[in-house]
Amino acid sequence: MEFLPLFHKLRDSQVLVVGGGEIALRKSRLLAEAGAVLRVVAPSIDPQLADLVRGSGGQMLDRGYLSSDLDGCVLVIAATDDEPLNAQVSADARARCVPVNVVDAPALCTVIFPAIVDRSPLVVAVSSGGDAPVLARLIRAKLETWIPSTYGELAGLAARFRQKVKALYPDVTQRRAFWEEVFQGPIADRQLAGQGAEAERMLQAKVDGAPPHAPGEVYLVGAGPGDPDLLTFRALRLMQQADVVLYDRLVAPAILDLCRRDAERVYVGKRRAEHALPQDQINQQLVALAKQGKRVLRLKGGDPFIFGRGGEEIEELAAHGIPFQVVPGITAASGCAAYAGIPLTHRDYAQSVRFVTGHLKNNTSDLPWHDLVSPGQTLVFYMGLIGLPIICEQLIRHGRGADTPAALIQQGTTVNQRVFTGTLADLPRMVAEHEVHAPTLVIVGEVVVLREKLAWFDGAQYR
């Protein structure tokens, strides 16, 4: 190990920065965030850097470097493009046993700047020892997606109880077991869900010796249209901690694979005229599982509040006093249109967009057709595959031009995506000539003509 990772407390301490340009500015921003008092020396100092120096209560020296500039400093940063000067700063700092960092010159450094994930007071640092800083930044980017911002609040909660727990458990092994239970249980769940007051109440009860009330909870999570990369950070975190997963047919297998491996999985999907479980039974099952103290993930394709019956499910949960969280997902209209290269609105083509269910009951579709043929709007029909001929016929009959551009997207955002474009008059015939299966989305409006120029995603290239 070339460098030993250490965290330095710099608040109210003098730090010397030699250099006044962009690189010095980047390093100084980190130092200022840590509360350091900046002393910057350079013949020319960037105005933004000057503002940082003044904000830190430090000083600017508009001249060349002198070894006496090190006086009283606990850290030195050499950030110039003058290699001999950087080497001189490094030598002077080493002679005084002052830690020194020379940007892009690991051999001249006694300390280096890592890539940082800041969830203060929780801070994660990644370093390649100066050999591959870009790789370190890429790893940091991955960590950013895995560590929610609320982890800092969880660390802050622990800090407020640290001394109480230390007094309660003098033995370090007992304290470790206590905190492991806190960080992996319902108290952490509440804090990470933004329910800080409840988390604090539960932790206080645990410290006082009362077992925390830990009812089950339901996570109503939108899985998006199919591409796992479109999941939100919160969705992925809840997927990893749920005890039971109730999932729909529209949830892609690749997304289901991201759920906790040992979680129980219950298929409750729906096909046309074929329901694995009726909706009222799904509602009852969510309540029953939560009352058993389980963390239940209700995973839905798209967004749970857009033709997903999410409102019905949480109404039932609320009626029984079951805690729940709702995590929005990218709805099919947004995701599929984007991957098909069809903007839903455009100043020249459509000033509004309307989401409509295309599901037919008794082979009819009771929709406000007169409203749907208004000019300047894009129509998006969910579940419109079976009813496509009727949808197109009714739109034409009520005044929408037969030559209005229209598209059908199958399995949008996935490697199996297929897009069929035509007009209201010929799209049903085009689709009938191919073997098309749900899930599909139908888009009607002049914006469809933009696909020819804007299409960027070819699912085949991602296979």
According to the annotation, is 23 in a ligand binding site? yes
22 is in an annotated binding site: yes
The CA–CA distances, whole Å, from 175 to 92, 178, 352 equal 45, 5, 58
Measuring CA to CA, which residue among 234, 228, 286 is closest to residue 258?
228
Is 1 annotated in some ligand binding site? no
How many other C-beta atoms lie within 10 A of the C-beta of residue 206? Answer: 19
Q: Has 364 been labeled as part of a binding site? A: no
Instruction: Please check if 196 is assigned to a binding site.
Output: no
Q: Is 383 annotated for ligand binding?
A: yes
CA-angle at 128, arms to 122 and 132, nearest 5°: 125
Residues annotated catalytic, as ranges? 248, 270
What the block records as the tokens of 86 is: 């950087």
Is there a binding annotation on residue 396? no
Q: Is 2 annotated as a binding residue?
A: no
Tell whether 430 is in a known binding site: no
Buried b (16+ CB within 10 A) or exposed e, 136-172: beebbeeebeebbebbbbbbebbeebeeebeeebeee
Determine if residue 446 is labeled as part of a ligand binding site: no
Contact 430, 448 (CB under 8 A): no
* 297, two tokens: 């993930």
389 is in an annotated binding site: no
- In 3D, which of 249, 300, 253 has the Cα closest to residue 276? 249
For 237, counting Cβ atoms within 10 Å of its Cβ (0-12 exposed, 13-18 middle, 19+ buried), the class is buried
Residue with tokens 């009222």: 280
Nearest 10 degrees: CA dihedral of 195, 196, 198, 204?
160
From the annotation, which residues make up the binding site for NAD(+)?
22-23, 43-44
Binding-site residues sit at 22-23, 43-44, 225, 301-303, 306, 331-332, 383, 412
Extract the annotated binding site for S-adenosyl-L-methionine: 225, 301-303, 306, 331-332, 383, 412
